[in-house]
Amino acid sequence: MEDRTGDVARLILDSKKIVVFVGAGLSTESGIPDFRSPGGVWDKYDPEDFYFQNFLSSESSREKYWQMATEMYDAMKDARPNAGHIAIAELEKLGKLDCLITQNIDGLHSKAGNSEEKVLELHGTAMHVACLTCQKRYERASIQERVSSGDKAPRCDSCGGLLKPATISFGQSMPERETAEAYRRSAACDLFIVIGSSLVVHPAAQMPVVAKRAGAKLVIVNRDETACDDIADIIVNGQAGQVMEAILESVRRIKDREA
Ligand code: APR
C-alpha cells in the first residue's frame, strides 16, 4: 500500500483551519472496545435494549443499562491515551487544531493534553453522571460505588430523579451547543481529518459531508472502509496510533526542512 502519510502531513502544514473528528476506533489501542468491529460492544449487547426510551420505561431496563455501562466504564476508568490521542494533542500544540469533534465518551482527549475548549463531545461523557430531572451532576466514580454495593439503578439524592451517565443514548437528544458548534466548525474548516470511525451514526456522521461540501479536503484514517470513503481525498487504512505517529513525524520533518 502506498504511504500517503507524507501527503497528509503536507495538507496539515498548508491548512489554516483543521478539524479532527474521531470515533471509538481511536481508543481501541487503549484497551477500550469499539462498537461495530468483531467483539465490539454491539456484538455483546443488543443496541435495541439501550435506547433512551427503554431506559425511561422500566426499572429492569435501567438495571440492564447500568450493567452494560459499568462494564464499559471499567474498561475506560484506568485507560491511558495512546499514540493516536497524543498525536492529536500535538496538533493542538503546533497551533494546527481548530477543533476536535469526538464521538467518544472516555475522556482520553483531556488526559492526552487537548484543552477542554477545543473538544466537542457530541455523545457526552461517561466521566460524570447527571440527574434526568434536576440535572444535578455527580462524579462517575461515586455513583459506581453505589452500583457495586447493590444500588442497581441509582436515583438522585436531591430530587429522587433517574440518574444516567452523561452520555447520549440512541433516541436521546443531542447536546445542542456541541452539535451546532460541530456543524459550524465543519463548514468553516479547510481540512477535515476522520480517525477511527465507521461514520454510520447520524447526525455525527454528517460532519465530514458538511466539510467536504464546504470545500474542505477530507482525510480518513481508519482500519476498515467507512461510509464516506467515496468522498475522501486521502484514505489511510491502518492502525490509528501508528498512522497518526507517522503523519506527525512527517509534519515535524517538513517543518524542520522548511524552517
Ligand atoms: N485503528 C484504526 N481504526 C480502527 C481501530 C484502530 N486501532 N480500531 C477500530 N478501528 C475502526 C474500525 O474499523 C471501525 O470502522 O474504527 C471504526 C469504529 O467504528 P464504530 O465501532 O462504529 O465506532 P464509531 O464510529 O465511533 O460509532 C459511532 O455509534 O453506538 C454509537 O454512540 C456510539 O459513538 C458511537 C457511535
Domains and CATH numbers, the chain: 2-32+81-123+174-258 (3.40.50.1220), 41-78+128-167 (3.30.1600.10)
pLDDT digits (tens, 9 = 90+) for 77-115: 999 999 999 999 999 999 999 999 999 999 999 999 999
pLDDT of residue 3: 82
Cα–Cα distance, 179 to 196 (Å, whole number): 19
Determine the residue of 21, 27, 28, 228 to mutate for testing ligand 1's pocket, defined as the one with the most ligand atoms within 8 A of the Cβ atom: 28
Cα–Cα distance, 241 to 247 (Å, whole number): 10
Cα–Cα distance, 62 to 59 (Å, whole number): 5
**Residue keyed to cell 429522587:** 160
**Whether residue 168 has pLDDT greater than 60:** yes
Q: Give this prediction's pTM.
A: 0.97
Say how many Å lie between the first and final Cα of the chain, rounded: 30
Ligand 1 pocket (Cβ < 6 Å) reads: 23-25, 28-29, 34-37, 40, 103, 123, 196-198, 200-201, 222-224, 226, 239-240
pLDDT digits (tens, 9 = 90+) for 194-232: 999 999 999 999 999 999 999 999 999 999 999 999 999
- Is there a catalytic annotation at residue 109? no
pLDDT digits (tens, 9 = 90+) for 6-17: 999 999 999 999
Catalytic-labelled residue, pool 85, 109, 123, 202: 123
